[in-house]
Structure 1
Amino acid sequence: MDFESFVNKLEQFGFRNDGINKDFEYRYEKNNKIGDNFYQSTEPLLACVSKLDDIAFSTDGDIYKLKFYFDRVKETPRTGTFIFSLNLQDRGEYLSFSQAKDLKLTFPFQAVLSDGNHPIVTLNNSERCRVNFLEPKKASGLAIIPNQGISQYWQACLLELGISFSDTSPQFWQRCDQTSQPADQAFLFGIARQVSQILRYYNAQAYSNQDNQLLYQAGNATIGGIKFGVAGLSFEFNLSQANSKQISFYQDIKSVLSVLKLPFTQEGNWLKIIIDSRTFTKATTLVSQWYQTITPVSPSQHAGDEMKAFNQNGIAMTHSPLNQILFGPPGTGKTFHTTEAAVKAADPAFYGQLNINPAVGADTEQRQALTKKYKALSEAGRIRFVTFHQSYGYEEFVEGLKAETTEDNQISYKVSDGIFKSIANAASVSELSPSVDRGDSTPLPAQSHVEQHNHVLVIDEINRGNISKIFGELITLIEESKRAGNNEEIALTLPYSGKTFSVPNNLYIIGTMNTADRSLAMMDTALRRRFDFKEMMPKPELFNNRTVKGIDLTRLLETLNKRIEVLYDREHMLGHAFLFPVFNEADEDNAFIKLKDAFKNKIIPLLEEYFYEDWNKIRLVLGDNQKEQSAGRDYTFIQAHSDSFDALFGHNHGLETYEDSKVTYKLKDFDDAVWSQPEAYVAIYSKSE
């Protein structure tokens, strides 16, 4: 990444450029690979910092350091609060990260704890913390954890959600603040809010009967807890409540743990997960998955009732966030999953009747029922679908002027509603009581009865559009607390029609985002804050190690993705959808043909795009460098050819290079026999014998 691109990346986060010393730019350009490592490692941190106003970066005349501040007086050196700096040192062009000990920022730590491979920088005794970004594996996804404030953060989450914790021991909160292990700190910060939200939906309370543990209780039953034991911090579940309290997640928790490869122990009905540097990220993921499957309770329910919400007909309801985005690499089923997510939000009672196992997903019969319901809801206007693109704007989404030809061949302009305004008005009508008028809605006759229905807008490829241009003032209105009927309700005057507009509480927004097109951290900050994000990653385990002519589909996809993650990143892995046509084909010969087609038409072109036709890296992804010729057969997909400079240019070519030859690579034609040899695909994940 050259220096100009690096600065542009920082400015895209909304940071102000207050001037950079030319000597610093020169030092950077001497090894601009440093910029790639720094940006990739601190991207989650930069995204968090970008949520603050008035962030600036400047060298302040220093030739070694690029410093970041907030509340800085523009172009006035060393003013404001110093956050961190990027240091380019003389010795070996050493790059480090520094941060002030008394940093007064509060980050949403769940967003920073991204992948489990990163170091956790704790601010204890030293005034600066340094990380060498020249070793990208050691600096991937940097997380910063203050050495104090865990208890205050956790209690603030409980207070915000109205959860009682008056019976908790002060000693427990002291133990939280005294935690010194980085993994413990990261876990406690990472799950505080999600556990609090789970407690709220189970109408539960927090309490402690010992100084070293925090338990959560629904009714008279304890459903889980966090404990500081001899072996360290542990997260525990009371499995006896799986049936008596209808906590459906508990019934499948062992299978979820198996998928996550998260070790656990069981003592009686209590399942225990030890938190350490190897498990804390997976444990945070476990809590996140639990939160996605909870069934909220009504505040009016009694302690002994089942922990679900019910509609007026007594049918169990399920919870969907008002605004959510499904994000992940291509081919992970984001658009496919919008069918289920939309039906769940639009008709939670119908969805609850299907009894879909969240750990496994919908089976064939359930999927058919979902598809049929989705079509019916779409025809009724309760589900709408739109795809964002670079040319899409406010006029198509909210409202705009539309030209029409009159009877006397004159052009007139009328205000035309966009898809969002149309479905918002439809949702408003369905939630209005009789004789109430809102915006463009027609007043209802006094004797009419309107049943409230949820409406859903699905926005595919939400990250491909200009969010500020498309949403405009709606970015404020879609926030849950600002919706119509809530205490902080906001209504705005639309620019074209001049009419008052607000977003109803029964309109759900579901977006999809391909991380290969645009990183999550580069999303509009205002949009990120107002949406819940559900990561959808490749699931090779769905193939159940099925083999096609000896090719193990699970191992094949796992191996390809591991190599892509190392050579590029996890946001560009291959989704399981690329190989699902192969998996679903019963005839083995036809399945192998579809496997070849997948490589020819999807996988190879995508790898070319990812690596900019760097065929050596593509060769490494396909494992060609590990394939050995056997019985005269060549199982490589990419052919290497070495050309001598002397042979090409003669002995006196004058080229100043450290090599005397050049190796070039060429993809073998798809008519080549190697593409029809199953052994060539097996050799991708297993060396040829």
Structure 2
Amino acid sequence: MKFTWIPFYREFASKLLQFKSDRSELLELIYSHRDELQAGYLHDKGGENDLCTDIDPFTTFGIFNRNITFANRVKIITIFRQLLNIKADVPSDFEGVPLLNGLKSHFFGFRDRREHDDIQSLWNLFEKVVKGEDFATEYNKVIRQYIININITMGLFWVRPNDFIALDSTNRIYLKQQYGLLLPKKVPDYSAYMNILNDIKNKMAANKIKEKTFSDISANAYVGAPATKKAEQTWYDDEIGTWKRRKNIVLYGAPGSGKTYEVPEFVVRLCAPGFDADAASREELIRKYHELKKEKRVMFTTFHQSMDYEDWVEGLRPETDDENQVTYNVKDGIFKLLCKEAEKPIVTSKQTGIAPDAVVWKVSLAGTGDNPVRTDCMKNGYIRIGWDGYGPVISGETDWSIHNGEGKQILDAYINKMKTGDIVMSCYSSQTIDAIGVVTGDYEYNDSLPNYKRVRKVNWLLKGINENIVEMNDGKTMTLGTVYKLNSITLDNVRSILDKYKASAPMEENNRPYVLVIDELNRGNVSKILGELITLLEPDKRKGRQNAESVVLPYSKKAFQIPDNVYLIATMNTADRSLGSLDYAVRRRFAFIPVLPHGLEENGFDKELFKQVSKLFIKNFDEYEASGWNQSFKLQPSEALSVEFRPEDVWIGHSYFLMKDEQGEDCTGSRLRYEIIPLLEEYVRDGVLTVEAQTVIDELYKQLME
């Protein structure tokens, strides 16, 4: 192996140190050669012309350590060699050099995502590493920064490849496949990272690892990188693939096995395939998950004994009107609400002004049929209504007796409730419309008009039609009311009319995934909650599929279908209730994915205690560990486990053995006293564990006292 890149990289790192106290000079060098360095991506939040005002050394290294061609990397390095007066030769190889994702080539976030000292902290770490000084404090600070994850270990490898190994996916897979080493996917803290480095060094010294340097390991790993890259994502790829195919999945397992913890990652991988979940930190992943929730693409609920069909689909709810009269109205449940969001078409043209949450309104333009007001509205791009006698301003002081109290609610809807971006349908007869438009302006009173002086500007998307909307309006004709919401007509209905008349399409069908998360599935009466929708959950019964089905809902009396882009993910604690508690009709609609307890490489995870307790449930723990915690591994029950139970249903999960809280304080004592020991004792009382388990429980008490 050549490794001709190492001398250049070492000298480049040393040269960069001169810019630690004056980064503006480094930025000037980069931006004055921006095109030659192919550094167009180096900008802040405002886009290509919003230049960075600061830069760190690792991001600078990344300019020639990205997914670009070999020739371009050499070209960039040649330019830097001249700019920085580097004596080392331009490399003729890049064997084993890990590369940044082209979409994530920064080591700091945009200005709204970074702290004021993030870039300075990166320089502090860099300086310590280049000078060979202890960098524990600097490293542990940097790894908490936005966008920092495994990429920082790649940066350390670039700077000093003899001292550090990159924990990128290619190296992780290689070391696992060749030597059974399990390295963390998320960046470890300083202590854990040093332990990893020392362990690998010791194994190399003892010939348990054939390579003699970290560079050798990385080079050999990258020889088979294309083949191994796919293998790392097998578990997630398989399970997400199952989810796409079946539409509905259940993550099931014992308490603490990480079912709910896995949900955000499943959801983000399904809903945001462009998001690099492998490289993202947990904080970034959760942020993306919450973004999806804010976009109403993800909704969350927990099943419980008092939950019923009315909470899930629809039900009658009492409401009090302005006159304190109680009425019972149909209210949508959480699943129906999600389905409505999934059906909304995507607005593709912002110029039309359609709001993503647009409401559809019926508007009568001076009655039905052709008339001067209708003609004027179509010509001049607005809608007009009357009750001019009330004057231009409608308020609490308005004298409603002028028109015998008529129009009060209509004017409130027209002036206050109709919003810019809403859709209006121009009523031509009790059954038909002649135009569809988008509200583009607020309420105005145009005194120059002879009558019908109340105006809202409209962008007409379609005019001169004669479309019967009774069927899509749930069989209802349009009433005499001048303005009111057409609650039964959706944006998708509007899109279908525009498509029918081949109007310029400002919307397209929504195929983005929408997800309902159900926590504790088996704590509710599932059959009662799902009701008749259990049939529609099947993939081939979804809207638009070959065997699509619909049902008429009991309260609204409307036909209902489940959109094809709606997905369910549920969790089920098998220690609470066995899988058999769900009837076969429910089970047939879901794919069940086991989530087994497994060891963690995280700081604070007590491996020995986890192993000690785990052997109460399985006797082939060592073989399971050696498999790399393969989630398909066949567990063998231990002698201490009752024959009536499967280990995967009751085995205490790994989260119980994380012995440091969010502040880094040790909580081993409280974990043992208040969580692990009580649960084990309850298992003995309930017959899950035999009396043989008491010996281990007694030993745990001794550890607690010590």
Query: Is the TM-score greater than 0.5?
Result: no
> Which of structures 1 and 2 has the larger relative contact order (alpha carbons within 8 angstroms, sep 6+)?
2
Kindly indicate which of the two structures has a greater share of residues assigned to strand: 1
TM-score (normalizing by structure 2) = 0.41
TM normalised by structure 1 equals 0.42
Larger radius of gyration: 2
